[in-house]
Copies of this chain bind each other. A is one copy, B any other.
């Protein structure tokens, strides 16, 4: 099918505007503190995990000789960049006031835990003709799915393995025994011990790299750094972009230097749009990666339509649509092949368990699709 030349020209012009806006944003942003040290830790983390074996050996031998249910350890399934929490937009250069986005960081922290877990994963095999003759249930592989996670998170937001903690005082969880040894009251004990043990395991096995941000400037510089580093992973890289990223900002050079005076009546502000970096990520930073972004709205009437638009406009593999009123209970995964609703059946469950299971399965299929270097 031929594309109307005027539409193609318009799309190209829009892409160029996005690129120019992104360049201008980074040029004017205050530089990331400790940039070199952070970049080295990211490069080291990616290099360590790019050596992970993928696909596991069983996938490269004739599939149907393997009974379903066999397991294969392999290396970590891949590297996932999870972003979490809201970015801030400073209103003053010596920042006292800023615009913030609601985001507890719950989604990203939970996803980190569930992608860390090595568990049998089920996915359909598209490679062998023999599959056509077998029931889908039989033609599956079981592989381990422990991902190495780069967790780009807002300072002070929810952290993996301690999401259950009381919001304002961890000291409420502890007491001192008679010999002043630290004790955890019985009814908390199992959950605290599991948290310490799981967290230690993730750290000791080198499966977690935590990178904190506060402002939109820090966040986008970190995302750029991580994405360009992960580009070498090709299809094995995955992005789970759950951070609530500011849509509007005050460019650094046009920002008030000092605290805005409060005594002079109402305050008028004009904010610019933040360049749409998902587009840049997909086009330049990590074109082969599996990209999952999130769309949060308060109005259910426009949510799915906006998610569909983001899917096409930014070339995402999945857009997870969620509403502020019930984002913990239900989400809709929007892909080019349709919509899948994921919901939890009780308040005790984490929706992220199912969500990450489905996404990891889709990522496995992405790795094995035509054109993948790991196919």
Interface residues of A (CB under 8 A from B): 88, 91-92, 94-102, 153, 155-156, 159, 161-162, 165, 167-171, 174-176, 180, 182-184, 192-193, 195-197, 199-200, 210, 212, 244, 246-248, 257-260, 262, 265-273, 296-299, 324-325
In the complex, what's the smallest C-beta–C-beta distance from A292 to chain B, in angstroms?
20
State whether B298 touches A258 (Cβ < 8 A). Answer: yes
18 pairs, CB–CB < 8 Å, chain A vs chain B: A92-B298, A94-B325, A96-B298, A96-B324, A98-B99, A99-B99, A159-B171, A165-B170, A168-B212, A174-B196, A248-B262, A248-B267, A257-B298, A259-B298, A259-B299, A266-B271, A266-B272, A269-B269
The residue on B at minimum CB distance from A249 is B267
Q: In the bound complex, what is the Cα–Cα distance between A159 and B270 (angstroms)?
A: 35
State whether B170 touches A193 (Cβ < 8 A). Answer: no
Inter-chain contacts of A197 with B (CB < 8 A): 176, 180
State whether B269 touches A268 (Cβ < 8 A). Answer: yes
The residue on B at minimum CB distance from A88 is B100
Inter-chain contacts of A92 with B (CB < 8 A): 298
State whether A182 touches B171 (Cβ < 8 A). Answer: no
Q: In the bound complex, what is the Cα–Cα distance between A199 and B169 (angstroms)?
A: 10
The residue on B at minimum CB distance from A170 is B170
In the complex, what's the smallest C-beta–C-beta distance from A208 to chain B, in angstroms?
10
State whether A97 touches B94 (Cβ < 8 A). Answer: no
Q: In the bound complex, what is the Cα–Cα distance between A102 and B299 (angstroms)?
A: 30
State whether B168 touches A195 (Cβ < 8 A). Answer: no
Inter-chain contacts of A325 with B (CB < 8 A): 94
